[in-house]
Amino acid sequence: MIRLLAMREIRSLFAMPSTWFMLAILQFIFSWFFLNTLQTFLDLQPQLAQLANAPGVTSIVTTPLFNMVALLLMMLVPMFTMRLIAEERRNQSFVLLLSAPLSTYQIVLGKFFGLMIFLALLTSSIPLMIWTLALGTELDYGLLLGNLVGLLLLTASYVSLGLYISSLTAQPVIAAIGTLAVLVGLWLADIASTVASAPWHLISPLYHFQNFNTGLLDSSDATFFMLFSIVCLLLTMRRINNNRIYG
């Protein structure tokens, strides 16, 4: 059932022209940025050659590229999550799911995984672009993998937060702005506090992404993302149940 709901989400997304437009624009931005960082590496190469333990092409290209994608996703994810529940409510199609023989967790997870699969497809071009460098050089696959896992976890936390905020309202625009506000707020809390030990860092998903970004797999960061996502998903389920109770 979860798979059925997820597939329905994806099919609906691909049935809309706006999705294809977004895919095209994003692909353009991703590749532009990739070529830019690659150019930086090529410019730096003569100086790097003189260093004893110089950073490789993977870290010079991958780290800024994934960092940029993480920031971009922060602004993109709300545009996709706003549709999940708020728009279904507005179109009155949510009743179909409520009156179908489904548990609340199936509805929530179906929507969550549907969007996760779509976003995985959307960002899959990035590792592919980096992989093309393997034609000419040796790549640091560990760093690449660390970044991919980090990005996946980060996206999961964004999507679950967006899903929760989408379940609070029947207005997709409010859901989008609300999610964006919370995500940007968390990000600002992170970058605005200059003290390294400030607790503000700990609540920001982007802060926890930094370790992954530099190729460090830290279980406490992974735990943060999982807890963040699970709490948001549980809140969403609670909200949908309350919807039945309070109308």
Yes or no: say if 169 and 175 are a contact pair by the CB < 8 Å rule.
yes
Supply the minimum distance, in Å, between the C-beta of residue 131 and another protein. 33
Asked whether position 121 contacts another protein by CB under 8 A, the answer is: no
Asked whether position 12 contacts another protein by CB under 8 A, the answer is: yes
CA angle 198, 200, 202 (to 5 degrees): 95
Asked whether position 113 contacts another protein by CB under 8 A, the answer is: no
Q: What is the spatial distance between Cα 222 and Cα 129, in angstroms, rounded to a whole number?
A: 25
Binding segment (CB under 8 A) for another protein, from list 2-10, 39-47, 140-148, 204-212: 2-10
Sign of CA dihedral 25, 30, 31, 36: positive
Asked whether position 93 contacts another protein by CB under 8 A, the answer is: yes
Q: Interface mask (CB under 8 A) for another protein, residues 188-227, using x and -? A: ----------------------------------------
Residue linked to tokens 């989400």: 9
Sign of CA dihedral 76, 81, 82, 83: positive
Q: Which amino acid is at 209?
A: F
Asked whether position 101 contacts another protein by CB under 8 A, the answer is: yes
Chosen residue from 30, 34, 66, 94 binding another protein by CB under 8 A: 94
Asked whether position 99 contacts another protein by CB under 8 A, the answer is: yes
Supply the minimum distance, in Å, between the C-beta of residue 164 and another protein. 21
Yes or no: say if 112 and 163 are a contact pair by the CB < 8 Å rule.
yes
Q: Which two tokens stand for residue 169?
A: 């309202």
Supply the minimum distance, in Å, between the C-beta of residue 232 and another protein. 24
Chosen residue from 39, 40, 103, 124 binding another protein by CB under 8 A: 103
Chosen residue from 24, 29, 71, 98 binding another protein by CB under 8 A: 98
Q: Which two tokens stand for residue 16?
A: 């809309």
Yes or no: say if 39 and 185 are a contact pair by the CB < 8 Å rule.
no
Binding segment (CB under 8 A) for another protein, from list 85-93, 115-123, 187-195, 198-206: 85-93
Q: What is the spatial distance between Cα 149 and Cα 146, in angstroms, rounded to a whole number?
A: 5
Residues found near another protein in the complex (CB under 8 A): 1, 4-5, 8, 11-12, 15-16, 91-103, 244-245, 247
